[in-house]
C-alpha cells in the first residue's frame, strides 16, 4: 500500500507530465494556426526549440542510462583469480 508521500509524489509527477504534454501539444499543433501577432505567442518559445529540446533530453537520457549500466557492471565485476 502506498503511503501519503508516495501518492503525493505520484500525483505531482502525473500533473507535471499532463501540463508538459498540453503545453507541447499547443505549441506544436495549435500555435501554427494562430496569427503571429496574437498575444498568446509570447508564452511559447520559438519553433526551432520544439525539436532541439526533445533531442537534447533524449541524448541526456541515453547518456544517463549508459552511465548507470556502466556503474552497475563495474560494481558487479568479480576480482580476477591470481594463479601462481
Answer for the pair 27, 44: CB distance below 8 angstroms, yes or no: yes
How far is Cα 80 from Cα 35, in angstroms, rounded to an integer? Answer: 68
Q: Is the pLDDT of residue 1 over 90?
A: no
Q: Where are the domains of the chain?
A: 1-43, 45-79
For residue range 8-49, what is the model confidence (pLDDT) as tens digits? 999 999 999 999 999 999 999 999 999 989 999 999 999 899
Radius of gyration of the chain (CA): 22
> What is the model's pLDDT at position 77?
84
Cell numbers placing 5: 508521500
> What is the model's pLDDT at position 2?
79
Q: How many residues does the chain have?
A: 84
For residue range 50-59, what is the model confidence (pLDDT) as tens digits? 999 999 999 9
Q: What is the pTM of this model?
A: 0.68
Answer for the pair 2, 10: CB distance below 8 angstroms, yes or no: yes
Give the model's confidence band at 84: pLDDT under 50 very low, under 70 low, under 90 confident, else very high.
low
Amino acid at each position: 500500500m502506498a503511503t501519503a508521500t508516495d501518492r503525493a509524489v505520484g500525483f505531482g509527477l502525473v500533473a507535471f507530465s499532463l501540463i508538459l504534454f498540453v503545453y507541447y501539444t499547443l505549441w506544436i499543433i495549435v500555435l501554427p494556426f494562430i496569427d503571429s501577432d496574437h498575444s498568446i505567442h509570447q508564452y511559447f518559445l520559438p519553433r526551432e526549440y520544439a525539436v532541439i529540446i526533445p533531442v537534447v533530453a533524449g541524448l541526456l537520457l541515453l547518456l544517463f542510462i549508459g552511465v548507470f549500466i556502466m556503474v552497475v557492471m563495474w560494481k558487479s565485476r568479480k576480482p580476477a583469480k591470481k594463479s601462481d
